[in-house]
Homo-oligomer: A and B are copies of this chain.
Amino acid sequence: MDIQFSNDEFLNKFGEQVRSIRLKSGLSYREMAQRCDLDYSYISKIEKGQHNIQLSTVLELAKGLEVHPQELFGFEIIPIS
């Protein structure tokens, strides 16, 4: 499986996935921020693909959403056939 994905696309897809899980959980930015060690405005920028976050932040997002970190990467990746 050869992967064709730019960094920007990857950050955007990751952000969309965080947003979709957050909305499905019925959490606002502020409610999510209270559950983890992240500022609500930072969460909104991550959702817009504006931050190339580190693994420690991935862990915080997973804590805030109460999901396994693996779920944050549950989006389509375009393989090069």
Please list the residues of chain A having a beta carbon within 8 angstroms of any beta carbon in chain B: 1-3, 5, 7, 10-11, 14, 52-56, 58-59, 62-63, 66-70, 72-74, 77
A3-B68, A73-B73 known; 7 new pairs, CB 8 Å cut-off, are: A2-B66, A3-B63, A7-B56, A14-B55, A53-B54, A69-B73, A72-B73
Give 14 A-B contacts (CB < 8 Å), ordered by A residue.
Answer: A1-B67, A1-B68, A3-B59, A3-B68, A5-B59, A7-B55, A11-B55, A11-B56, A14-B55, A52-B54, A54-B54, A69-B73, A70-B73, A73-B73
Q: How far is the CA of A62 from the CA of B19 in the complex (A)?
A: 23
Nearest chain B residue, comparing its CB with the CB of A62: B3
Give, as a whole number of angstroms, the nearest-CB distance from A68 to chain B: 5
* Pair A74/B70 contact, Cβ less than 8 Å: yes
